[in-house]
Amino acid sequence: MMRIFMIFVVLFLIAAAATYWRACARGAAASRDFPPTGAFVTIKDLRLHYRQAGSGPDLVLIHGSSGNIRDFDLGLFEALSANYRVTAFDRPGLGHSDTIADPLIAAQVRLIKAAAAELGVSNPLVVGQSYGGALALEWGLQGGPAGLVLISSPSLPWPGGLDLWYQMTNTRIGGALAPWIAAAWVPRTYVDLSLIKIFAPNEVPKDYAAKIGSALTIRAASLAANAAQINALREQLIEMEPLYSGLTLPIELIHGDADTIVPLKIHSGPLSKLLPNAVLTVLPGLGHMPHHAALPEVLAAINRAATRAGLRKSP
């Protein structure tokens, strides 16, 4: 019996060492193959990766879960920088930004606000996509933005729970082990299949995974940070919901009616009735990524928010 136990221990240690080595190697390769595209700003010993371009009124872009600022490089960033000074941040723990201990969106917003202020950004229009829209709402509650644009954003508590990955990573053991196992052994094809689901019913843009550096998403630290942020989100939205009626700044909501990731009828639809100064644009037949599938409509909503906020003249 002791011999069997020792064999089991040895095999376990070999598997653990192989997993750790492979996860580190794949993570290092991802960071090397998809290096920072911008610069860094340091706030309280934490580095945030950002990219800034253009001139005009300040506009801040905040990406969604499992993402990074490369997602905005396929049209949106360039189009906006023609009329705004655009600053896009890798959220804490994702892309090339350092992880913070607190996964709550309030802590993320405080860090990004401080970084934006350090860069001279003031009174910005804050544009958030998916999870980034929840940060935009929190930024509005904390004060400071001229207006908000929420693209396919979660904003209200949803019925039911999260999928198996988040249930597993929401336990002490699962949260410690699952990101390393996934980082080591999840095939790249899994990411491609996930993108099909995220974009559905619209097509994934050609070479999207390579262009956004999807390998950055499945590094162990990024997986752990993203899981902690998603697992904490619903309870935060419950706390935020009663405060929405006090958001009187201009807000534009843009949402596809075929979005199955963040359904319109659970989030932007009812949210538009809670916000006193919101305009909802529903995009028929579009899924979760309208900033790719319907860029002109997204730009129109952003420009409309800027005009309503007094940041630009009416066309």
Per the structure, the complete domain to which residue 200 belongs is given by 31-308
Residue 15 lies in a domain: no
Residue 264 lies in a domain: yes
N-to-C CA span, the chain: 81
pLDDT of residue 14: 79
How confident is the prediction for the chain on average, in pLDDT? 92
Residue 13 lies in a domain: no
pLDDT of residue 209: 87
Residue 10 lies in a domain: no
**Whole-angstrom distance, CA of residue 50 vs CA of residue 94:** 12
Residue 22 lies in a domain: no
pLDDT of residue 237: 97
Residue 161 lies in a domain: yes
**Whole-angstrom distance, CA of residue 270 vs CA of residue 20:** 45
- pLDDT higher than threshold 70 for residue 156: yes
**Whole-angstrom distance, CA of residue 146 vs CA of residue 296:** 22
Mean pLDDT of 281-301: 96
Residue 119 lies in a domain: yes
Mean pLDDT of 146-170: 93
User: Domain containing 95 — which CATH number?
Assistant: 3.40.50.1820
The predicted model scores a pTM of 0.93
**Whole-angstrom distance, CA of residue 154 vs CA of residue 132:** 9
For residue 173, the Cα-to-chain-centroid distance in whole angstroms is 25
Instruction: Name the strand (E) or helix (H) holding 128.
Output: strand 125-129
Residue 193: pLDDT band with limits 50, 70, 90: confident
> Is the alpha carbon torsion for 254, 259, 265, 271 positive or negative?
negative
- pLDDT higher than threshold 90 for residue 203: yes
Residue 19 lies in a domain: no
At 134, give phi and psi (nearest 5°).
Answer: -65, -35
- When divided into structural domains, the chain yields a total of 1
